[in-house]
Amino acid sequence: MNKIKMLVGLMALMLATNAFAWCDPENVYCGFTVTADIWSSHDDVTRYKDINWNDPDSDDYCTPGPDSSRWRGRSDIYRIHNPGDPFTITLDWEDDANSLLDDLALIVLEDCDANRCLGSDYHTLEFSTANGNAIIDNDANGIWIIIDSRTDIHKDYTLNVYCGDFPFGVELSSFSASRTVDGIAINWSTASETDNDRFQISRADATSDDWQLVAEIDGQGNSTTRHEYSFVDRNVNGERYTYELAGFDYAGTRQVFGIVSVEAATPNAPTATEFALLGNYPNPFNPTTNIRFSLAAASEIQLAVYDVMGREVAQLVNGAMAAGVHEVAFDGAGLSSGVYFARMSGSFGSDVMKLMLMK
């Protein structure tokens, strides 16, 4: 029990700091529909402040309304790298009927570092050339989408991300690419499909900007149930590759859903110089993901996964391991969608990172 209480305290501390919640977004793509919730903790809303926004002599805030201080709740953060033109985001939730104030706010920033507000609203933000506010995605950090709340409320919400001239007929739930022994595996899933004829996968390598068509996969046409798709690109070497996932409807209209990169293969196993969690892939995941961690020396470690309430849902490692970089699989098949935390601990201390399960 004490262990769980300590973990909850550690999570609350990390969620309340910029180092964890800020600069640690979930990736989203065109056509994504994300169902999530705001729950517990505080983030510092002053980071949405844009000091040179309208008046260089005053501090302006990105959150809507006359009183910036009232938006000090938990933030969920997402990042999109190819926003498109037009680019529309909608945020839906069941508002508190007993209050005249909106519970959630939708905020878009230029990136993690610039802190420049591109727009804020309670429900819908649209950027386009026609409106005179098209987004130019010229930053490696991408465009940042933030969901903020007023207080420590628990609110379910749906975030829709649309790119192009019309809402997508495909609701994308996940999209990832990773190296395997057979090549590079591209995996994606859809929550629903409307008039979806086929998917198209194209590839560009590190030495060229030219896209090469590598696969076409039939869509489901019209479906309201989840579907999983996969393709293995076997004609690859150790270079860095970028993959584009696009789709065609029955009218022949092509829309790009997302772009994902796979780093160059390392010729030798990486050397571990610290005790740390190195990330997981894919992320978001459904239902399995691979968690990587490094040990600077042989150690007795415990690696477990917890839900947002601090309850242990899986124990992945409990024992001695050699120095080096390791990888273990986590299967969330029996768990519900949402945020989970991996925690590695030992005589060296502990490290925690966030996982996103999206079914």
Question: Looking at residue 218, which CATH number applies to its domain?
Answer: 2.60.40.10
pLDDT for res 255: 82
pLDDT for res 109: 85
Same-domain check for residues 47 and 136 = yes
Report, as an integer, the average pLDDT of 253-282: 75
Q: What is the pTM of this model?
A: 0.57
pLDDT for res 16: 33
pLDDT tens-digit readout, 128-174: 888 888 887 766 667 889 888 876 677 888 898 887 766 668 888 77
Residue 336 has pLDDT above 90, yes or no: no
pLDDT for res 199: 96
Q: Domain boundary residue among 204, 228, 262?
A: 262
**Could you please report the per-residue DSSP string of 40-98?**
S----GGGG-BTTSS-TTS-B-SSSSS-GGG--S-EEEEEES---SSEEEEEEE---TT
Q: Vertex 300, ends 298 and 303: CA angle to 5°?
A: 115
Residue 57 has pLDDT above 70, yes or no: no
Same-domain check for residues 183 and 79 = no
Does residue 268 form part of some domain?
Answer: no
Rg (CA), the chain: 21
pLDDT for res 264: 75
User: Residue 216's pLDDT band (boundaries 50, 70, 90)?
Assistant: very high
- What percentage of residues in the chain have a pLDDT greater than 90? 13
Number of structural domains found in the chain: 3
- Three-state secondary structure call for residue 19: helix
Does residue 338 form part of some domain?
Answer: yes
Domain extent for 194:
170-262
Same-domain check for residues 344 and 258 = no
Report, as an integer, the average pLDDT of 59-77: 70
pLDDT for res 103: 84
Helical H segments across the chain, by residue range: 2-15, 18-21
